[in-house]
Amino acid sequence: MRALNYAGRPPAVEGVFASFNPRFQVPAGPGGLVASVDGLALGRFAWADLTTGIAYSARQAPENLLGFVLPAPIQGVWADWRYRYWDQTRRAFILRAGMEATLARRGDFWARFPGGSYVSQQVYANVLDGSCLAVDRGTGPVDGYEVTPWSVVSECGQGELAVISTWSYFTP
């Protein structure tokens, strides 16, 4: 069953909370994290360099910490053009360079799967752009992707949204 509302539209937007389960963010310390010069794709995976406080949409070094980019409000504003913009090439809203970023380490979120997904699959992050890939458990390493602690808990078609979770797990 696909997650669509009565009008046939997705029930949420990429990156927002999908439940009331606990959520944990990357411990960024004083000043927090900021988006790299290329910006950060909201609702995708990113890697934080805790030494510099910069978050990247592509893995820069093995010690970078993986997190899921949340579209958190900046100064109480959700969609102001000064903070984010639509990038047609990446097909995502981008948090502008230097803006404060929030990366989640655990929780339930809505994520977009270019190849679709179904319940119980393991979520992998593309190391070049942070996009999601759903893979059957036990498949092993996937070239160009990093395994994440998230699992798929709702199915979706190609390019659609599904719920990912670090708390819930379903077997096929």
Tell me which residue range forms the domain holding 126: 24-165
CA angle 45, 106, 21 (to 5 degrees): 130
* 37 within some domain: yes
Residue 72, C-beta contacts closer than 8 angstroms, at least 6 positions apart: 102
Residue 3 lies in a domain: no
Residue owning tokens 């390493």 = 141
76 assigned to some structural domain = yes
For residue 18, being part of any structural domain is answered with no
Q: Does 107 fall in a domain?
A: yes
Identify the pLDDT of residue 29.
64
Mean pLDDT of 69-73: 77
- 136 versus 30: the higher-pLDDT residue is 136
pLDDT of residue 99: 87
Instruction: Let me know if residue 171 belongs to a domain.
Output: no
Write the CB contacts of 52 (distance below 8 Å, at least 6 apart in sequence).
Answer: none
Segment 90-116, tens digit of pLDDT? 888 899 898 888 899 999 999 999 999
CB atoms within 10 A of CB 150: 27
Say which residues have a Cβ less than 8 Å from residue 44's Cβ, sequence separation at least 6.
14, 15, 57, 68, 69, 92, 111, 112, 125, 129, 130, 131, 132
The answer to whether position 15 is within a domain reads no
Per the structure, how many domains does the chain have?
1
Query: What was the pLDDT predicted at 138?
Result: 86
pTM: 0.86
11 within domain boundaries: no
Q: Pick the more confident residue, 48 or 83.
A: 48
Residue recorded with tokens 């997190």: 67
Q: Which residue has the higher pLDDT, 79 or 160?
A: 160
pLDDT score of 92: 87
